[in-house]
Structure 1
Amino acid sequence: MNLELVTRRLAGLWLVVVLACLAHNAWYWGVHKGAPVTDMLAMLPRDEQRPMAAQATQALADAGARRITVLIGGGEAVQAQRAADAFLQALGDVPARHRVDASDQQAWLQLFAPVRAGLLTPQARERLANASTDELADQALAALYQPVGGPRVGAWADDLLNLFSQWLAERGQSSRVRVQDGRLMLADPATPDHHYALVLIELPGSGFEVGAQQALQPRLEAAVQAARGQGAKVIRAGVPLFAAVAAEQAQREIHTIGAGSLVGIVALTLLAFRSLRPRLLVALSMAVGLLVATSVSLLVFGELHLVTLVFGASLLGVAENYGSNYFSARQGLAAHERWTMLTRQIPVVTLAMATTVIGYALLALPPFPGLRQIAVFSAVGLVAAFVTVLWWFPLLDGNGRMAPTRFADWLGSRRALWPSLRGRGMAVLFVASALLIAAGASRLRVDDDIRQLQSAPASLIAEQREFARLMQAPGLAQFFVVQGRDEQELLQREETLTAQLRGMRLGVQAVSDWLPSLQRQHADAALVSLRAVELRPVLAERLGQPVAAAAASAAELAPADWLASPASEPVRAQWLGRLGDGVASVVLLRGAESADTRAALAALNLAGVTWVDKVGEVSGLLGRYRQLMSGVLVLGFAITWAALAWRFGLASWRALAPTALACALTVALLALAGQTLQLFHILPLLILLGLGVDYGIFLLEQPGRHEIRPFLSVTLAAASTLLSFGLLALSGTPALQAFGLTLLIGVFLAWLLTPLFLPPHA
């Protein structure tokens, strides 16, 4: 069976696959209304060794993904309130909360008042346990004659020491927000005469949904302008704000990188081949690659991240290589000669494609969901583009002779300008390279901190920090997950943990501060009752009249009642409920910024308590995989050398050495340019391995100094890759920028060095 007949049959089968992918894409994006994922947490690894920590992190992220918090003011309270009204009016029907109903305040008392005997602050508990009866009597009389701070619920005799008022005051002090004139307000701790109105915006869906972001952003911006029009300062905080910026940036980069790559590649191919048909067919191969990659990625992962699409836009330059190589080899040949040409080309192009796909596939080794999605998308897209060139191009490229163009002949003939180094020339190259690499090594800095990959605008980060200062809110990057077999064991373990944390002088925000365990409620109620029995005779003697006994109450504060009440709102998100085999909650901290403090917290060993330091864990993971992937890169070179030896034998080093040298020089140049080395500088070297070796394969297959077609193909391929990844180096996402910059330098060096390593007699 001849090659033409086999190709026609395979082309038909490939057409069926492509049409199926086209229908799948049309259904997903059109009918199903699918949208790219913008949640950057989805790109990070889950804690597979501690699934409880991973689930808790996700639960906190889900809660935060729906809320935007806004502070409005900066001057007098009246001005802040006026600006808040203007903000809310411009916001329209977006769900927002600023006012507090009297019914909500009453709900607090209705929830806690029946169980007030079981609600003690740590200070009150210690005083009841240790103070003498006379000292307590003095306190009780002071509470009678000079009541201070907080509401008194019921008669004086029911709460002789006004303990409930102290407990409520402590709950109020856990937040800087106060209810003033029925509004949520706070004062700047550094400048008390600067007041802010607090507005809570609760989105009906996730803030990561692109549609929700597009609907909210115009209204939010209009509301901000309305508040500023009243002379107020506006400070916004919340995950949806970062998600919106990331989505807008990614969409902008898709258009910029995709359009820039396409325009550049179109110009190159028109100059090289003059005819429009090669340009259209090359565009077809790239479109098929992206189409099939999208479908396969959706089937494998169930969703597609926006960063994957941005990276996919840069894939155009690599996918273009196969089409350009085909038409470079086709120049000057009659139509019937294409099959002979294809017979010679298939082994070479297949080997080149395999080495490139290996480089992309190695990206899937780290446990980063985002990298694995990019690896699958890229590898599948390249294979699909390659198959399209192999099975469709011979049937669609026309029946005439493809005449060489003047530009193609000129570009291909530039190969003769490169000397083939040997002996002294090769020694000079390696000595110069060694000096440059040594200089780079002396300047090399490594930093795996995940915060280095932060891409949010500085203004938004500054707003977030100012908000945290004003609110004195706990951090969300480090926290404890507490788990129990049931709700009461969970609360008891929380109480043990919070006691230790407060002993370390840390700020704590915990569910058990609002919802004590039944064990604590009963113990505190018993302590209050015992000291009240001792107090009444002393007070009766001092007052000269009997003191009535407190009304008996067997009420208990249960988790279900607390969760259903508005009183749980400040910390409700920290109650994770059923998680794994038990019930879980999160304890948040203030003042855990130093490395020594975090180390001490990590060393705590309590039953059912897990320390989570997401920043530290991911940063440590980045560091470990930077080292691991450096080893994988060496392994990749060894595997590629074995594949090249199968084709080129002892001469295979000539195809591999230029890329190896380009990798080393790239790292050196990045260091000399002041770049801090991290994982996303190492990973693109795996891709460079595949791309650079392709140049060696094509040139080593036809190494003659006056061979035009191989150097034309290699130069067009390198130029296309530089266009796509060069634009990626301009990305505002640090990880993508590192990818692009590394490949921009590395691909150019690989193209520049490869002709120097060809056999001298060629």
Structure 2
Amino acid sequence: MTDKQGPRRLRRWLAAAWLAVLLAVAGHNGWLWLGGHVRLETDILAMLPQNRQDQAAQDATRQLADSAARRIVALVGAPDWADARRAGDAYAASIRASGKPLALRYQVDERQSNRWLDFYAAYRSQLLGDDARRQLQQAAPAALAEQAVAALFQPVGMPRLGRWQDDPLNLYGQWLGERAAQSRVRVRDDRLSLSDGNMQYALIMLEQQGPAFSVSAQQAMLPILQNAEAAARSAAPRAQVIQGGVPLFAAFAAGEAEREVHTIGIGSLLGILLLTVLAFSGIRPRILVTLSIVAGLGCAISLTSLLFGKLHLITLVFGASLIGVAENYGNNYYAYRLGKPAGERWAMLRGQQSTMWLAFATTAIGYALLALAPFPGLRQMAVFSVTGLFGAFVSVLCCLPFADRGDMPFNRFSRALGGWRLRWPRWGRNRFSLLLGLTMAAVLLAGFAALQTNDDIRALQNAPQSLLQDQRRIGELMEMAGPAQFYLVSGDSAEQVLQREEALKARLAPLIAAGKLKGVQAVSDWAPSQARQLADRRLLQRVVLQPGGVLEQASARLGQHAAAAPLSDFKPLTLEAWLAAPVSEPLRAQWLGRFGQGYASVVMLRGLAGPAMLPSLERQASPAAGVRFIDKAGEISGLMRHYRQLMSWVIAASYLLVLAMLWRRFGRRAWRALLPTLLASLLTVALLALLGQALQLFTILALLLILGMGVDYGVFLLADSDPRAFLSVTLAAAGTLLAFGLLALSSTPALTAFGLTMLLGIGLCWLLNPLFTQKT
């Protein structure tokens, strides 16, 4: 065959090699999906930037998140405790009957309570609460003796454990009472419960077994919880069920992501299919272009899985939008095939190759620059997107001509669409240009005057209000410590860490007394430092047990002689013993253990009055003494602001880079291919501001892609005045608008902002490019 009519030998070899690659990719995708080896990630935190300086803070956040990743809390309430208990029993029975791997914690028998008390009883002579310690340090022994005697005759008082003469002031009972006051949860009728006004609640705690973010486990869990809720309401019609926990949010995210993958992907395909049939008078071009897209997506899935080990569902949602971009190359091929015999397709393709490679390169730059963001999810998106585009692009160049057959005459639709360019106004010295310039200037001035930024991490939250309200209500009822703000305490030894915790709690005591903070939750509450234990033991012995002390004076007032059991040798409650015992389970995650050359722990906050308290809390930290205040939400928001500013500079650098690439091809005319995209991007930002949309990192990232795709339109239109070029650009823009228009409907705010920015930006690129690329 001649060079004009057929492929060269090298092209045949390249096509065969690429086909072999695609067969390997197909086999790998089959192994991933059909073999169940694909790992899907739903946790939004996986997209967030890593802490650039403090690995300890990062580890602390991860450990706290992991400890809550499998837990579900259910509060089954009613005005009457009997109803709440009956409904709670029905809820728990339904969970057990499901046979699913959900560990249940609801009933607490007497033996469990006794084991808990017995563990601390061996150390009772060295455990003093804060109030008891102040009393012993400040009050006279005579006054304390009077108090000890009066307590004997009070009808109701603090429960006493052990003989009166061993603890006349009931100091051990006070220590236990202070610990119990840190939680509103109580044991009632051998069940976990709490009260709030007129409502009584049975507390049921569940723990998901297996992988915390397993999509299949999440989907299987929701009907079980729904059945349990129905069982509770059936047992007590007035019952109120409140459920919360990370798995519920993860299950919602997984379901939404799967629905959006189908909506965006199928919606894009249907819209593009209709356009292709109208433009090319047949289904064959659509099938072949679709196969090129499928090849690209398969390559993207395989390489991303190999590099990252897992796929984030948001990556797949975002990847579904590639359908609207990857089909550009196939559309361009078929647009230039219109009106030409099949035998000329190789010559046509060789003539178009340089323009197509330039268009691919400028688009790939936009996607690849996503990898500059510190978000693991965005880096994954960058790899997925560039690989998918490359796979689709190479499939068009290497394989599409071999499958192409027959002639493709212009039809009325494609001829009319391509002919629009001839009727497009031109930019120059005319009234239209003046009016358009003034309009754009007004929009830019008004928009940038109204421009606001929002880098708050909470903008990423897309859970339904009902779930958020339930989670907030559970936090309020249980007075749970939140993981967003905490103190990170470090030291050279475990003992030093505990001592620094105790010093921090002393500094926070005035804030708690003033009601600005409900309290703190620390390991040293339950396992005091050995120095504190020894000091408390000596204080107890000096004030209470020694001759002339509280015990002797109180006994004299009662007219009898009472002797306490002699104190045994000092045996401290060690952190190792506490961690190994079941009593440490609720706070075990707060002990980070060995880190680097030392140890670390987390002190959590309960009942923070509001964001205005954060500066006061930060002032209580002493980094020199190993105590740092961590505001994770504020830190991530700060990082998002930092990288929004950084990526803005990256966009500016990208325009210069793209201009240099265009200059090599078009010389002094290069600005005509780039200026429309620049104007479209600026107008998009202005219009978003006028619509009340704040500028955020995901808006900036979308502007990067607008640069890559918008320049494609300028390249094709500036390189060729043929109506086929405008037809190709119009089909490409329509496909992108379909894909990203649907992305703007996503329930994930980040994707919504991204999609809306792309919708406006690509639409404006399509409108403005012909103005500047028309030949005058």
Query: Smaller-chain TM-score range?
Result: over 0.9
Deviates more, 1:613-622 or 1:584-593: 584-593
CA distance in 2, matches of 1:303, 1:150: 55
Task: Please say if residues 257 and 314 of structure 1, whose CA atoms lie closer than 8 Å, have aligned partners that are also in contact.
Answer: yes
1:658 matched to 2:662 = no
1:156 corresponding residue in structure 2: 164
**Aligned partner of 1:672 among 679, 682, 690:** 690
In structure 1, the gaps of 5 or more residues are: none
Q: Secondary structure at the match of 1:33?
A: coil
Which residue number corresponds to residue 107 of structure 1?
Answer: 115
SS of the residue corresponding to residue 445 of structure 1 reads coil
Q: Which amino acid aligns with 1:194?
A: M
Partner of 2:603: 587
1:214 aligns with 2:222: no
Are 1:718 and 2:723 an aligned pair? no
Mapped contact 1:362–1:686 kept (Cα < 8 A): yes
The RMSD of aligned alpha carbons is 1.7
User: Please, which of 736, 753, 758 is the counterpart of residue 743 of structure 1?
Assistant: 758
- 1:618-659 per-position Cα deviation (integer Å, ceiling 9, x unaligned): 111111111221221111111111111111111111111111
Structure 1 residues 453-512: Cα deviation after superposition (integer angstroms, max 9, x where no partner): 210001111111111121121221111122233322221121111211223323111111
**For residues 352 and 147 of structure 2, what CA distance do their matches in structure 1 show?**
96
Q: What residue is the counterpart of 2:179 in the other structure? A: 171
Unaligned runs of 5+ in 2: none
Q: Separation in 2 of the partners of 1:168 and 1:39?
A: 38
Indicate conservation of the 8 Å contact 2:662/2:670, yes or no: yes
Q: CA deviation at 1:540?
A: 4.0
- Kindly indicate whether residue 15 of structure 2 is the aligned counterpart of residue 11 of structure 1: yes
> 1:400-423 deviations in whole A, cap 9, x for unaligned?
332222221121111112021212
The aligned counterpart of 1:58 is 62
Residue 330 of structure 1 corresponds to 337
3-state secondary structure, aligned to 2:34: helix
| Structure 2 residue 423 is matched with structure 1 residue 417 | yes
Per-residue deviation, 1:35: 3.2
Q: Report the counterpart of residue 401 of structure 1 in structure 2.
A: 407
Q: Which amino acid aligns with 2:528?
A: P
Task: Find the aligned partners of 2:554 and 2:78 in 1 and give their Cα distance.
Answer: 49
1:73–1:194 CA contact under 8 A, matched in 2: yes
Moved more, 708-717 or 206-215: 206-215
* Aligned partners of 1:4 and 1:339 also within 8 Å: no
CA distance in 2: counterparts of 1:88 and 1:541, whole angstroms: 54
Distance in 1, matches of 2:226 and 2:250, equals 15
| SS of residue in 2 equivalent to 1:731 | coil
Secondary structure in 2 matching 1:428: helix
| Alpha-carbon shift at residue 550 of structure 1 (Å) | 2.7
CA contact (8 A) 1:356 1:690 kept: yes
Distance 2:38 2:491 in 1: 39
Counterpart selection for 1:46 from 42, 50, 58: 50
Q: For 2:644 and 2:12, how far apart are their aligned partners in 1?
A: 46
Q: Could you tell me which residue of structure 2 aligns to residue 228 of structure 1?
A: 233
Q: Name the aligned partner's letter for residue 269 of structure 1.
A: T
Aligned pairs (5 A) from 1:72-471: 72-91=76-95, 92=97, 93=99, 94-146=102-154, 148-188=156-196, 191=197, 193-229=198-234, 230=236, 231-398=238-405, 400-424=406-430, 425-471=432-478
Q: Aligned letter for 1:6?
A: L
- Cα distance in 2 for partners of 1:381, 1:593 equals 49
- What amino acid maps onto 1:224 in structure 2? E
Deviations 1:184-207 (A, max 9, x none): 11111xx2x211110000111243
Matched, 1:33 2:37: yes
Measure how far apart 1:569 and its partner are.
Answer: 3.0
* Secondary structure of 1:676 counterpart: coil
Name the amino acid aligned to 1:458: Q
Distance 2:487 2:26 in 1: 47
TM value normalised by structure 2: 0.95
Residue pair 1:65, 1:206 contacting (<8 A) in 2 also: no
Q: 1:733 aligned to 2:740?
A: no
CA distance in 2, matches of 1:578, 1:215: 37
Contact in 2 for aligned 1:482/1:609 (Cα 8 Å) = yes
After superposition, the Cα gap between the structure-2 partners of 1:349 and 1:14, relative to the gap in structure 1 and judged at 3 Å, is same
SS in 1 for 2:593: strand
Checking the alignment, whether the CA contact within 8 Å between 1:149 and 1:169 is kept in structure 2 is no
Contact kept? 1:269, 1:278, Cα under 8 Å: yes
Query: Counterpart of 2:588?
Result: 572
| Maintained 8 Å contact 2:370/2:379 | yes
Contact 2:165/2:551 (<8 A) preserved: no
- Which amino acid is the alignment partner of residue 146 of structure 1? Q
Q: CA deviation at 1:228?
A: 2.6
Q: CA deviation at 1:128?
A: 0.7
Task: Read off the aligned partner of 1:226 and give its amino acid letter.
Answer: A
Counterpart mapping for 1:643-654 below 5 A: 643-654=661-672
How far apart in 2 are the matches of 1:540 and 1:601?
A: 46
8 Å contact kept, 1:104–1:566: no
Q: 1:281: Cα distance to partner?
A: 1.0
Structure 1 counterpart of 2:640: 622
Larger deviation, residues 257-266 vs 428-437: 428-437
Secondary structure of 2:605's counterpart equals: strand
SS in 1 for 2:455: coil
Tell me the matched-pair count: 754
Give the C-alpha shift of residue 217 in structure 1: 1.1
Give, in angstroms, the shift of residue 605 of structure 1.
1.3
Distance 1:551 1:315 in 2: 78
SS in 1 for 2:41: coil
Deviation, structure 1 residue 596? 4.1
Identity %: 52
Alpha-carbon distance in 2 for matches of 1:643, 1:10: 26
Counterparts in 2 of 1:220 and 1:580: CA distance versus 1, 3 Å: farther
Q: Structure 2 CA distance, aligned partners of 1:206 and 1:480?
A: 28
One-letter code of the match for 1:256? T
| 2:574 pairs with one of 558, 562, 567 | 558
How many angstroms apart in 2 are the aligned matches of 1:446 and 1:225? Answer: 44
Residue 714 (structure 2) pairs with residue 708 (structure 1): no
Asked if the contact 2:43–2:250 (Cα under 8 Å) also holds between the matched residues in 1, the reply is yes
Letter in 1 for 2:380: Q
1:503-514 map, 5 Å: 503-505=510-512, 506=517, 507-514=519-526
Distance 1:393 1:7 in 2: 12
The answer as to whether partners of 2:459 and 2:750 remain within 8 angstroms in 1 is: no
User: What secondary structure sits across from 2:38 in the alignment?
Assistant: coil
More off after superposition, 668-677 vs 734-743: 668-677
Residue pair 2:88, 2:202 contacting (<8 A) in 1 also: yes
Match of 1:681 in 2: 699
TM-score (norm. length: structure 1): 0.96
Q: Give, in whole Å, the separation in 2 of the partners of 1:550 and 1:41.
A: 55
Q: Distance in 1 between matches of 2:562 and 2:724?
A: 107
Q: Distance in 1 between matches of 2:474 and 2:552?
A: 52
